[in-house]
Amino acid sequence: MSIRVVALFYLIISLLPFFCSNAYAADQGMITVHYPPDRTVREFGVLSVSLSVPEGSADLLKVIVNDVLRVEIKPERTFACFTVPIKLGVNTINISALKGVKQVDSAAFSVFRKSDLEGKFISPLPIYRKDNFHIKDNGKCAQCHKLEPVESDLKPFNGASIKGADKDREKALSATSTCYSCHKKITSYKYVHGPAAVWSCLSCHDKIAEPKYAVKKPDTEVCFACHTDKKKEWSAMKYTHGPVTIGKCAICHSPHASDYAFNLVKPTWDLCTTCHFEKGTGTHVLGDSIFAEGHPTRNRPDPMRKGQELTCASCHSPHTSNFPHLWAFDVNSLYEFCQKCHNK
Ligand code: HEC
Ligand code: HEC
Ligand code: HEC
Ligand code: HEC
Ligand code: HEC
Ligand code: HEC
Ligand code: HEC
Ligand code: HEC
């Protein structure tokens, strides 16, 4: 045999394991992340991930988000789909595939969660880009998921949510919502907005919008379509709050769901002081008067609203008012204003 033939023979022998399914597991690149692409921008607190590993190549997938183990999946089929929580700013997602105790592959990517409310997170770092899932060819996903919306994705919204035990609810929702199979975690918070609670996603996300499912801007175009009573009431008022003037309802309210009453993105006091930082420092209302500790703005019962805590919204309307400083009460003077609570 010539030396070249021998060399070729050894080359083939040494490469053989890569072609045989089991041994090839030691190779890198088993994990294919289908979505999201590396370095995309997100706006909400949940991130959907879909990846695949060759059948039988791994018996456990571990998903670590910002150093916290979030998901462990036994890949029973080639596709593994899951949703993980993300924080504001940069999030790093590390996925490792294990066969027995041995790590056979790993993959990592990052996403940036932006927020128009939080100064530090308004502009994503320049290496991050917005990405629209629904304008792509998602044929791969269509093997198992329905992607084209149906009539029941636009339900009547009468405030009644789909009730019942968790299992029945889940069944009803998957049967009547195309979006549910992938986006189910978007409503997994304590307070769910009316139309999102019944998965009437298309009442705001138009399937013929450009890009697909984009919502109208400003938010008032979306919100006042249903909250017509508010539109009428508020447009008659003399003073309008800055963010409302520019139509940014969703800077304070999640259109889907949140952990705070009224689907606020933060508890009221934290929300207001994010923009009005100086009002949370303790000198507000009483200024430099003899009451050195200032006027409380939280952690006390609200004398005007039984069962609620004092917050900024106890004295100010977050939207509109007929009185300067957006006072929440119908009063003619500062004295009357103070008397509202201090005369009780
Ligand atoms: C082989 C079938 C299959 C394919 C292909 C598939 N999925 Fe899934 N996906 C599922 C199943 C089944 C579920 C239900 C989740 C579960 O309980 O395991 C699911 C759930 C999801 C979820 C919700 C996960 C959660 O728990 O919140 C998302 C998001 C998702 N898929 C996205 C995708 C995307 C994007 C694609 C295409 C890149 C895709 N899937 C392709 C079968 C598939
Ligand atoms: C196959 C799974 C799947 C189905 C079904 C699905 N989505 Fe999505 N959608 C995604 C993924 C993945 C993203 C990326 C954002 C994320 O992490 O949630 C996304 C993003 C979006 C976005 C942000 C814009 C974009 O294109 O990235 C909107 C809006 C949206 N989906 C609405 C819907 C609505 C409404 C439905 C039902 C009619 C629906 N989706 C059904 C997987 C799905
Ligand atoms: C009340 C109106 C409204 C309803 C109902 C609604 N959405 Fe949205 N959704 C919005 C707005 C507003 C945004 C922010 C869009 C933007 O800033 O471009 C948004 C954004 C999204 C995004 C993008 C998330 C991201 O991280 O960028 C997804 C995904 C989404 N919606 C899915 C859904 C699904 C699924 C439903 C049904 C349960 C639904 N929406 C119902 C108004 C709504
Ligand atoms: C498709 C109709 C629809 C659209 C569009 C809509 N809403 Fe709603 N909204 C509802 C329904 C229904 C309720 C539940 C009413 C109830 O329970 O009293 C609700 C409740 C609310 C509540 C809680 C009210 C309360 O008293 O607890 C807030 C806050 C709210 N919506 C804000 C918004 C914002 C902000 C937008 C725009 C991003 C918006 N809504 C768009 C239908 C809609
Ligand atoms: C600056 C933050 C902020 C903005 C912007 C904002 N809201 Fe609110 N909204 C709140 C807070 C805080 C509450 C709860 C008030 C309370 O505790 O009484 C609330 C309550 C509500 C409620 C239920 C209570 C009520 O007053 O009827 C609705 C409906 C609502 N908002 C809709 C909207 C719509 C529509 C827009 C856009 C036009 C909007 N909000 C803009 C902060 C905001
Ligand atoms: C997204 C930023 C933002 C948030 C959040 C916010 N505000 Fe404002 N606020 C503004 C802007 C902008 C103005 C207008 C400033 C100006 O005109 O000088 C304003 C003005 C005000 C004013 C003065 C109005 C006047 O005529 O003197 C009051 C009072 C006020 N906000 C209360 C609140 C309360 C209460 C909350 C929480 C429910 C809140 N703000 C949340 C941005 C915000
Ligand atoms: C006990 C009632 C009360 C509470 C609670 C309260 N305020 Fe005020 N606020 C006032 C009064 C009275 C004025 C007008 C007098 C003045 O200029 O200090 C005012 C004025 C303001 C102004 C406009 C004037 C300026 O200095 O720019 C803003 C903005 C404001 N408040 C924000 C807030 C925020 C944010 C909170 C919650 C941290 C809050 N307020 C809590 C009573 C209150
Ligand atoms: C929304 C209701 C509300 C309004 C309006 C209000 N306060 Fe208060 N105020 C409170 C609460 C609650 C406390 C805390 C009482 C306690 O600790 O028991 C307080 C405490 C005080 C204190 C500290 C002494 C004490 O009684 O504990 C002073 C002084 C005070 N307020 C003055 C004012 C003045 C001046 C105004 C008008 C500019 C005003 N308040 C408007 C609710 C209000």
Is a pLDDT exceeding 70 seen at residue 291? no
The count of domains in the chain is 3
Query: In angstroms, what CA-CA distances link 184 with 43, 159, 181?
Result: 16, 19, 6
- The atom of ligand 2 lying closest to the CA of 135 is 26
Which residues contact residue 2 at a Cβ distance below 8 angstroms, ignoring those fewer than 6 apart?
A: none
> Does 223 contact ligand 5 (Cβ within 6 A)?
yes
Task: Give domain status of residue 6, yes or no.
Answer: no
Task: Give domain status of residue 223, yes or no.
Answer: no
Task: Give domain status of residue 11, yes or no.
Answer: no
Indicate whether 117 and 185 sit together in one domain. no
> Does 263 contact ligand 4 (Cβ within 6 A)?
yes
Distance CA 231, CA 173 (A): 31
Pocket test for ligand 2, best of 183, 184, 188 (most atoms within 8 A of CB): 183
Task: Give domain status of residue 12, yes or no.
Answer: no
257 CA distance to ligand 3 middle (Å): 10
Q: Which of 125, 140, 168 is the last residue in one of the domains?
A: 125
Q: Which of 125, 141, 173 is the last residue in one of the domains?
A: 125
- The atom of ligand 4 lying closest to the CA of 252 is 35
Task: Give domain status of residue 17, yes or no.
Answer: no
Q: Could you give phi then psi for residue 226, rounded to 5 degrees?
A: -105, -40
- For residues 186 and 258, the answer to whether their CB atoms sit within 8 Å is no
- The atom of ligand 2 lying closest to the CA of 83 is 17
Task: Give domain status of residue 14, yes or no.
Answer: no
Q: Give the domain extent around 44.
A: 26-125
* Tens digits of residue pLDDT in 20-38: 333 333 345 899 999 999 9
* Tens digits of residue pLDDT in 93-144: 999 999 999 999 999 999 999 999 999 999 999 999 999 999 999 999 999 9
Look-up of token digits 């204003």? 337
Q: Could you give phi then psi for residue 130, rounded to 5 degrees?
A: -75, 145
Residues with CB under 6 A from ligand 3: 42-44, 179, 183, 186-187, 193, 195-196, 199, 201, 203-205, 215, 219, 222, 250, 255-256
pTM: 0.93
Task: Give domain status of residue 105, yes or no.
Answer: yes
Distance CA 188, CA 201 (A): 15
Indicate whether 211 and 245 sit together in one domain. no
Task: Give domain status of residue 135, yes or no.
Answer: no
- Can you spell out the DSSP letters for 208-238? TSSSTTPPPSSHHHHHHHH-HHHHHHHHTSS
Indicate whether 205 and 167 sit together in one domain. yes
* Tens digits of residue pLDDT in 36-81: 999 999 999 999 999 999 999 999 999 999 999 999 999 988 999 9
Q: Which of 110, 125, 140 is the last residue in one of the domains?
A: 125
